[in-house]
Amino acid sequence: MLKLRRLGIDTYQEAVIYMNRNCHVCRSEGFAAQSRVSVMLGAQHIIATVHIVSPELLRDDEASLSEGAWRTLQAQEGSGIEVSHPDPLDSLRALRAKVYGQRVDLPAWREIIADVVAGHYSDLHLAALVTACAGDRLDLAETIGLTRAMLEAGERLDWNRPLVVDKHCVGGLPGNRTTPIVVAIVAAAGLTIPKTSSRAITSPAGTADTMEVLAPVDLSVDQMRRVVEQEGGCIVWGGNVRLSPADDLLIRVERPLDFDSEGQLVASVLSKKIAAGSTHILIDMPVGPTAKVRSADAAQVLGDRLESVATALGVHVSVYVSDGTQPVGRGMGPALEARDVLAVLRREQDAPPDLRERALALAAEVLEFSASIARGEGLPLARRILESGDAMRKFEAICQAQGGLREPPRAPLTRMVEAASAGECVAIDSRRIARIAKLAGAPVAPAAGVELHARLGQRFDKGAPLYTVHAQAPGELEYALNYATRQRDVIRLEDR
Amino acid sequence: MLKLRRLGIDTYQEAVIYMNRNCHVCRSEGFAAQSRVSVMLGAQHIIATVHIVSPELLRDDEASLSEGAWRTLQAQEGSGIEVSHPDPLDSLRALRAKVYGQRVDLPAWREIIADVVAGHYSDLHLAALVTACAGDRLDLAETIGLTRAMLEAGERLDWNRPLVVDKHCVGGLPGNRTTPIVVAIVAAAGLTIPKTSSRAITSPAGTADTMEVLAPVDLSVDQMRRVVEQEGGCIVWGGNVRLSPADDLLIRVERPLDFDSEGQLVASVLSKKIAAGSTHILIDMPVGPTAKVRSADAAQVLGDRLESVATALGVHVSVYVSDGTQPVGRGMGPALEARDVLAVLRREQDAPPDLRERALALAAEVLEFSASIARGEGLPLARRILESGDAMRKFEAICQAQGGLREPPRAPLTRMVEAASAGECVAIDSRRIARIAKLAGAPVAPAAGVELHARLGQRFDKGAPLYTVHAQAPGELEYALNYATRQRDVIRLEDR
């Protein structure tokens, strides 16, 4: 038994235990720096990585935990813990087989995902899993197995209604923050849309990051249920409700690795939507040279895979292929995107028209999942709900139910980037624009990002504003501008 | 500029920087827990991972480093460091391409390996690289490219002699510690054999671990050069001489992941041998159901790959396929294996005969690389050198030159495992025997391991000793025995 002392070291989600090198447990068990150990506190249990500290920081009968591990174990100053060798992980056999190119079946996926959710995998194992599934390395049967295992590993909501709708964007297109608008319209029309969203993985903002600057999103399952019962819809962070908790853990290593995986994308999207109780799901799939999906053929392949896996799991998926040749809306970054969303919902004169029309088109498709809304009636209905102010009222009610609507913050530092020469805008590199927004601090700094002034086909004079970088810290502003000035043709102008 | 204060936290080789959450650099640069940052101290520079500490541990103008990073930067209490955003890694494009199944060419390998050696890759990136190369995922051209890039990334020795020999075992067979005996015989015969060895990756002992209980092995390149100039041979740890330094960094993540990779194995072996200046290399390849190479076909494939890559890099490789159906020698673990080696060299009556004969056979093959030793003359010559005591004298001289011969330690705790019933020994599971030795503490506890009393074909009465577990700590002894008693047929006896 060792006594806990809080050193207050924050390692984000990586569980670390700090022990003195002379500690009797280290000596008798043979633990050294980077050993993986099992830590028990009462009935709670985690696997952590050992870091060894000098006797000035901890006595030899003491140990400490990283802040995340401290919270997970609900530790108190002076709590007694037991530290021991962890059981060998049987699921590593299946992971190893996948790494060597063999296929993983459902029982093996269940073993792997159970160990991931229990926190038994080190970051190295998580990275190996993500790498082994990258690209097109999962076939249809494996993707169905992974989706089912991820679904089973978390909670699953049941709304006791025949039609529960949802929408999801496969991403890769900055801005394009249609979700809050679509949810408001669809809920205002009386449908049920229990929307859970993710935080950014590799983009400047996820829907949850954007929504968080407008209202609390870290609701529990019970809180989420009350919001949806009351208002017909919600926009909450999926990580807190533990629908498909494996996904949240995988995202932590996917983010720095930045690999695409078709199978993992499908499993991630569908496991979350099905766990949220959805029966009909619309997938917005933007296609463009710098979007995630780059061609009509690729959209077809991914769309087919989504539909096949959905069918195998007993839900309906429709794919809406949209224009992904340029960002949608003006803002990229949580607060900047939230401003665009509010402008559309508030029917402001200078609200971005592309974002409004995209959101209406998607809302129309979702509305038409309802048997009582005929093909072709969705779009005029969506427009009526938006223009009457019903959508804004519903959005306010949802925000209120989630904890209260707030105004997005503004960044203290901005810098405009101007056209180096005159010309017509012929291409916008979504990836590099998104990178600039991330270097400026998004999404961790919520007011940071990029405000885009250019659209394809527009003419610019030399010196006209192309985009504005927003930042909360001088170092980040400089870092983003350094990158931006080194790039050619992030926004390409041609003299026509 | 932040001032360094030593907190003395040991994270093994993972570079960590500790900063206060209120530190002005964190605020202006937007650093948070798990951010990857560039740390400059004078002309030295590393990439480290941020852990955030409470104001009780560090003031907001202070930072600390993990012990490994502290040493790498040659830091002093109070040294001033600069912390900034690291440059984006161009080589990640090549890594990503490999992960998606594309081939990596030589320039891309050079980029990847340069970033690995410079410490720019996080553990996640290293794990992704190892995973993407696992199994048979590298083709011949890629393996040649990786070998060349790893070779170029470190120092390369030149002995200015036409014939420089070496031997290597592809491993997977516990015990089999022939290297010290082969080097002693070959050097005593007047050949040049500058042997660098690795520490254990997934086994209870590497040759460097075993040799270290007999003499210092962490020699510099200059020290190694002097030993070889003087004695014709050496047995030093490859990690310290920075021949193929990328390999040592990859091994750190390979060890916990425990993936095999044919391409990486070939690149690892050949880059080290060629960097050591060898022209002729003998590969000992044990084949058996629980060895690394499990069939004659697999040995053929791996042997061909080694020979092809060696030819492309201008050196000669011979493959010696040996019996891998059971461990060679009695000991598994650094000190236990060292005892076997000394017993053979000292011509003790109870020296393990299988180890002696295996070492003689390998030494014979190496001797015959010499133009002046005819085919068939190698074995009698090797035996004469061993039996005359010349090999032991040469071994003592080499140990002396490396810093002095010492006697291997004995473990304070031992426990015998007995035959549960009578029978003939028909199978020995090398992998599980090795696992018991590792659980007992090997190789970190040098005296720990397993002493095997059984050989294939031997008859045992009920209660006769099969093997003895050696440990330095009670926890480790218990852990190894717990595992051992849960296993069936680690040593299989059948009533015939």
B195 and B232 in contact (C-beta within 8 Å)?
Answer: no
ipTM of the complex: 0.85
Per the CB < 8 A criterion, the answer to whether B65 and B16 are in contact is: yes
Interface of A with B in 135-164 (CB under 8 A): 135-137
Task: Return the pLDDT at A356.
Answer: 98
For residue B42, the 8-state DSSP code is T
Mutate to test the interface with B, among A6, A13, A31, A34 (most CBs of B within 10 A): A34
Question: Hey, is B196 helix, strand or coil?
Answer: strand
pLDDT value at residue A476: 87
DSSP B77-146: TT-EEEEEPPPP-THHHHHHHHHTT----HHHHHHHHHHHHTT-S-HHHHHHHHHHT-BT-S-HHHHHHH
Structure tokens at A20: 């003195």
- Residue A27 pLDDT > 80: no
Contacts of B262 in chain A (CB under 8 A): none
Higher pLDDT, B12 or B383: B383
Give the model's confidence band at B1: pLDDT under 50 very low, under 70 low, under 90 confident, else very high. Answer: confident
| Contact residues, chain B, for A12 at CB < 8 Å | 32-34
- Contact map slice: A 472-491 vs B, CB within 8 A: 472-476, 479
In 3D space, the residue among A276, A375, A274, A373 whose CA is nearest the CA of residue A317 turns out to be: A274
CA distance B233 to B99: 41
Residues in A closer than 8 angstroms to B132, CB to CB, are 131
**pLDDT score of B384:** 98
Q: Are B52 and A10 in contact (CB under 8 A)?
A: yes
Buried b (16+ CB within 10 A) or exposed e, A291-301: bbbeeeeebee
CA distances from B184 to A48, B2, B194, B336, B403 (A): 44, 52, 11, 19, 16
Q: State which residue of chain B sits closest to A12, comparing Cα positions.
A: B33
Comparing CB atoms, the residue among A9, A136, A259 nearest residue B51 is A9
Interface contact flag, B11 A33, Cβ < 8 Å: yes
pLDDT of residue B12: 83
In which order are the strands placed within the sheet that holds A165-169? A165-169, A280-287, A316-323
**Contact (Cβ atoms closer than 8 angstroms) between residue A4 and residue A75:** yes
The whole-number pLDDT of residue A259 equals 87
Task: Say yes or no for a CB contact (<8 Å) between A52 and B10.
Answer: yes
Distances from the Cα of B336 to the Cαs of B23, B171, B449, in angstroms? Answer: 51, 17, 7
Q: For A126-153, what is each residue's pLDDT tens digit? A: 999 999 999 999 999 999 999 999 999 9
**AA identity, residue B485:** T
Indicate the DSSP class of residue A269: H
Query: CB contacts < 8 Å between A and B, how many?
Result: 163
Residue closest to A338 by CA, chosen among A325, A360, A355: A355
Can you tell me whether residue A431 is helix, strand or coil? Answer: helix
Give the nearest chain A residue to B257 (CA atoms): A125
Give chain A positions within 8 Å (CB) of B21: 10
pLDDT tops 80 at residue A437: yes
Q: Write the pLDDT tens digit of every residue in A276-287.
A: 999 999 999 999
- Alpha-carbon distances of A376 from A357, A362, A371, A382, B405, rounded to whole Å: 15, 13, 13, 11, 89
Structure tokens, A133: 């599934």
- In sequence order, the β-bridge partners of residue B50 are B17
Quote the crossing angle between the two packed helices A390-402 and A221-231, to the nearest 10°. 150
Which of A8, A85, A473 lies nearest to residue B29, judging by beta carbons?
A473
Closest residue in B to A479 (Cα) is B85
What pLDDT score does B496 carry? 74
Q: CA of A138 to nearest chain B CA: how many angstroms apart?
A: 12
Measure Cα distances from A350 to A326, A344, A346, A387, B327 in Å. Answer: 19, 9, 11, 15, 78
Rg (CA), chain A: 24
CB A251 within 8 A of CB A334: no
Is the pLDDT at B202 greater than 80, yes or no?
A: no
Is the CB of residue B143 less than 8 Å from the CB of residue B256? no
- Min Cα distance B381 → chain A (Å) is 44
- State the pLDDT at residue A66: 96
User: Looking at the predicted structure, is the pLDDT value of residue A31 above 90?
Assistant: no
Note which residues in 277-336 of chain B have CB less than 8 A from chain A: none
pLDDT, tens digit (0-9, with 9 covering 90-100), for B130-189: 999 999 999 999 999 999 999 999 999 999 999 999 999 987 788 899 999 999 999 999
Across the interface, of A27, A127, A134, the residue whose CB is closest to B127 is: A127
Give the mean pLDDT of B438-453. 93
SS3 A424: strand
Task: Evaluate if residue A12 carries a pLDDT over 90.
Answer: no
Distance from CA of B356 to the nearest CA of A (A): 33
CA–CA distances in Å: residue A276 to residues A219, A363, A364, B304: 14, 19, 21, 54
Nearest CA in chain B to A474: B28
State the residue for tokens 């494939």: B301
Helix A353-367 to helix A378-387 angle, to the nearest 10 degrees? Answer: 130
- CB–CB contact B10 A137 (8 Å): no
Burial class (CB in 10 A: 0-12, 13-18, 19+), A325: middle
Tokens standing for A301? Answer: 């392949």
Q: Does position B23 have pLDDT exceeding 80, yes or no? A: yes
Give the residue numbers of A marked as catalytic.
Answer: 260
Query: B4: closest CA among B66, B55, B47, B48?
Result: B66
Q: Reply yes or no on whether the pLDDT at A28 is more than 80.
A: no
Tens of pLDDT along A56-101?
Answer: 899 989 999 999 999 989 999 999 999 988 887 899 999 999 999 9
**Nearest CB to B122 within list A25, A128, A256:** A256
Q: Does B92 touch chain A (CB under 8 A)?
A: yes
The one-letter amino acid code at A189 reads: A
For the stretch B459-476, pLDDT in tens is: 999 999 999 999 999 988
Q: Of B99, B444, B445, which has the smallest distance from its Cβ to A135's Cβ?
A: B99
pTM of the model: 0.86
CA distance linking residue A251 with residue B225, whole number of Å: 49
In whole numbers, what is the pLDDT of chain B averaged over residues? 94
Interchain proximity B475–A128, CB inside 8 Å: no
* H/E element, A481: helix A474-486
pLDDT confidence band for B203 (50 / 70 / 90): confident
A307-337 pLDDT, tens per residue? 999 999 999 999 999 999 999 999 999 999 9
Q: Would the CB atoms of A476 and B27 count as touching at under 8 Å?
A: no
Q: Pairing relation of β-strands A62-65 and A2-4?
A: parallel
Give residues 333 to 352 of A whose Cβ lies within 8 Å of B.
none
Query: DSSP string spanning A189-203?
Result: TT--EEEEEPPPSSS
**B255 pLDDT above the threshold of 80:** no
Confidence band, pLDDT 50/70/90 cuts, at residue B290:
confident
Any idea which residues of B carry the catalytic annotation?
260
Paired tokens of A76: 């108190």
Residue of A42, A124, A40 lying closest to A86 (CA atoms): A40
Q: In whole angstroms, what is the distance from residue B146 CA to residue A35 CA?
A: 30
The proportion of chain B whose per-residue pLDDT surpasses 70, expressed as a percent, equals 100
With a cut of 90, say whether residue B425 has pLDDT above it.
yes
Model pLDDT for residues A249-288, shown as the tens digit of each residue: 888 888 788 888 999 999 999 999 999 999 999 999 999 9
Give yes or no for a contact between B306 and B272, defined as CB atoms under 8 angstroms apart.
no
Contact A30/B473, CB-based, under 8 Å? yes
Write out pLDDT tens, residues A382-402.
999 999 999 999 999 999 999
Separation of alpha carbons B184 and A110, rounded Å: 53
Q: What is the pLDDT of residue A213?
A: 97
Nearest to A19 by CA among A34, A11, A10, B13: A34
Reduced DSSP (H G I as helix, E B as strand, rest coil) percent helix, strand, coil of chain A, to 5: 40, 20, 40
B124 contacts A256? CB cut-off 8 A = yes
pLDDT of residue A187 exceeding 90 = yes
